[in-house]
Amino acid sequence: MTRPRRELIALEATPYYHCVSRCVRRAFLCGSEGEFNFEHRRGWIVTRIQELASIFAIDVAAYAVMSNHYHLVLRIHSELSAQWSNREIIARWTQLYKAPILIERYQLQPQLSTAELDVVEEIIHCWRQ
């Protein structure tokens, strides 16, 4: 039975995690199948892994990109993300995702109401986690 990530990840137990992602229906991620060659995707995947590791507080301890799946061994640096300022958390998160309107307002005009600042702090806390 599947379980939510909050039950699977316990940083107090270990910062290292082995992650696997597989293709469905015997599709090829890399390599070649008959007249089709998907080997160029291997470089894309490695580049994306490095990009994501540089944005978040994660080290890639090891990786393997196979023909229909990949493995990652990741180390999560929760102490590093705890040192980042709110502005740095926002800057890192918005490299990949669009910020909510309230965060955009916070970046342009930090003089928000107390209730709005509380919501901004909640969002940033969630992103930091």
Tens digit of each residue's pLDDT (9 = 90 or more) over 10-28: 888 899 999 999 988 878 8
Domain boundaries, the chain: 5-78, 84-128
Confidence of residue 48 (pLDDT cuts 50, 70, 90): very high
Tens digit of each residue's pLDDT (9 = 90 or more) over 60-72: 999 999 988 999 9
**pTM, 2 dp:** 0.81
> How many alpha carbons fall within 13 Å on the CB side of residue 34?
1
CA separation for the pair 75, 50 (Å, rounded):
13
CB 17 within 8 A of CB 73: yes
Tens digit of each residue's pLDDT (9 = 90 or more) over 102-128: 999 999 987 899 999 999 999 999 999
